Structure 1
């Protein structure tokens, strides 16, 4: 078992402690420690005093303003794998998109979501709960999209992590001209608010703890089905989003962090609509089809410590060999597992460790390379950044094993 898998197993044991047997009967009872926040819960019990400093995400770098809409989608053709008695498979989806005008800023998270996140890392501070929920974002609620049709990117977060932890990447892609659908997969997060005053927590953490992650492909396969369902609801004949006509359904990508990134492989294998995929620091749980995703491009972007070719996660070596299209294997020096999400910004504010790469730098590197990959492979715009080492990004190492 490699180091990342050992960390996941330890975190899942923490899930079992945080979500005892008595709590598992109710999807909304008791917080669960997200597996991708492993090790943080033992660091502090009270966050440091930051005075009047306001928590804010890094500003987007593209030319467009950004809009934001939230959808609640239910696939009643499927049984939820974690809570079979649920009324179908539920998803919460945030759409970030190029906006035509400014408007009321979207909130970062609900207060319930923020409270459960802080409980997961053992930070007890009601003022911080409000601060996280109201962190400065750069998207306006339900404003009209910018003219034209834009490529679509689906984002899936790490196991136990909520979709809002990918806000910085989503907003940046939207500011560059993409529609971005960030997914919360029911019962797989520290806490996700659903309509009707419900907050669903990580029942899946207990299931995966009990199985020792022998059911890893159940997570990725379920998320692949979730992504395909969202594509149906956004690009089908009767779309769920009122601005769906702004989506160019002929140009679709999928990216994710950790298990969310690994889920891009089964999603692409099952759905030819997805033209390009990105895995940010996730262990693969699925075998590539014989055609290697049919020649479609794929980006591996990970922490150098774990995901260099000689690193402990050998699933990258196996997957790399099977990919048949344009492929990129990049690692980021001094980044940790959470460094491809909003976590460095959040954790710095909470006084928790987040890796050796500065928070703003971690966000900037992730944004630059994910955007370059999709610009080249969804828009056909050649990106020299993908050709090899770049002096403006000295942390990034290219591998061609």
Structure 2
């Protein structure tokens, strides 16, 4: 399951979806109704981003990610089970489902994991986790993947504080990874498109390289936790991907 940022279409995650599909994963990317800038239904009806015009508070964002978790469960209901709407439903193993998302799509992985036991693992890609993990904790595998300022204390990033809080409540397998030189859009197709248009995104890494790194680490995570394959890429720094820093919040160090 893939979920895009607020106001963004699911197509911003096409590069990641293609990578996963090429490796044998069934990928479902969601356009969240009234959140995408434009969404067309099969009957031709078009909805726009109504939520883009709403004044937003921390409580509003919590409500939004809860709504996204319900969207995820709805799509899973439609893709799996005896009355699946998709003719390729037999290709899906309902015991091996994960979710990844960018920005608020990444933040939405937490309520999805908490509310739907079918989602076995989650990846938050540079998203502020407005909805806190309960004190009882979350034991399923989880990765935070973000830009350096998301983690570095004192940078004014809202995500830094929420990641610190939720890291302590992740009781299962977990990693915190930072992509050196990245900006918020670097993890999506937009980073590649910005470079192609010659625009300045203030990133210290090219869009194509950021895409390649994101693909590699998301795939490694899914291979490890859905296919039970050992992926040392997730355990230590890699000479093939020197841009990725493995962080240990307990010691406040990254290497």
Q: TM-score, normalised by structure 2?
A: 0.92
What do the CA deviations read for 1:149-196 (whole angstroms, capped 9, x no partner)? xxxxx0000011100000000010011110010000011012222233
Give 1:356 shift: 2.1
In structure 2, which of residues 72, 94, 102 is the aligned counterpart of residue 249 of structure 1? 94
Aligned to 1:366: 214
1:299 aligns with 2:143: yes
Aligned to 1:272: 117
Residues 177-256 of structure 1 correspond to what in structure 2 (within 5 A)? 177-207=24-54, 210-256=55-101
Q: For 1:309 and 1:382, how far apart are their aligned partners in 2?
A: 32
Give 1:323 shift: 0.3
Residues 158-177 of structure 1 correspond to what in structure 2 (within 5 A)? 158-177=5-24
Give 1:379 shift: 0.6
In structure 2, which of residues 115, 119, 131 is the aligned counterpart of residue 286 of structure 1? 131
Q: For 1:155 and 1:342, how far apart are their aligned partners in 2?
A: 13
The question of whether the paired residues in 2 share the 8 Å contact of 1:261 and 1:280 is answered with: yes
Aligned to 1:120: none
What do the CA deviations read for 1:117-140 (whole angstroms, capped 9, x no partner)? xxxxxxxxxxxxxxxxxxxxxxxx
Which shows bigger deviation, 322-331 or 343-352? Answer: 343-352
In structure 2, which of residues 221, 225, 238 is the aligned counterpart of residue 377 of structure 1? 225
Aligned to 1:390: 238
Instruction: Give unpaired runs (5+ residues) of structure 2.
Output: 250-255
Instruction: Give unpaired runs (5+ residues) of structure 1.
Output: 1-153
The question of whether the paired residues in 1 share the 8 Å contact of 2:4 and 2:102 is answered with: yes
Q: For 2:152 and 2:144, how far apart are their aligned partners in 1?
A: 10
Give 1:310 shift: 6.0
Q: For 2:71 and 2:113, how far apart are their aligned partners in 1?
A: 12
Any idea what SS the aligned residue of 1:187 has?
A: coil
Q: Cα gap change, 1:309/1:170 in structure 2, threshold over 3 Å: closer, same or farther?
A: farther
Larger Rg: 1
Any idea what SS the aligned residue of 2:119 has?
A: coil
Q: For 1:367 and 1:266, how far apart are their aligned partners in 2?
A: 24
Q: TM-score, normalised by structure 1?
A: 0.59
Q: For 1:290 and 1:212, how far apart are their aligned partners in 2?
A: 23
CA RMSD in angstroms, aligned pairs only: 1.3
Q: For 1:346 and 1:219, how far apart are their aligned partners in 2?
A: 28
Q: Cα gap change, 1:357/1:324 in structure 2, threshold over 3 Å: closer, same or farther?
A: same
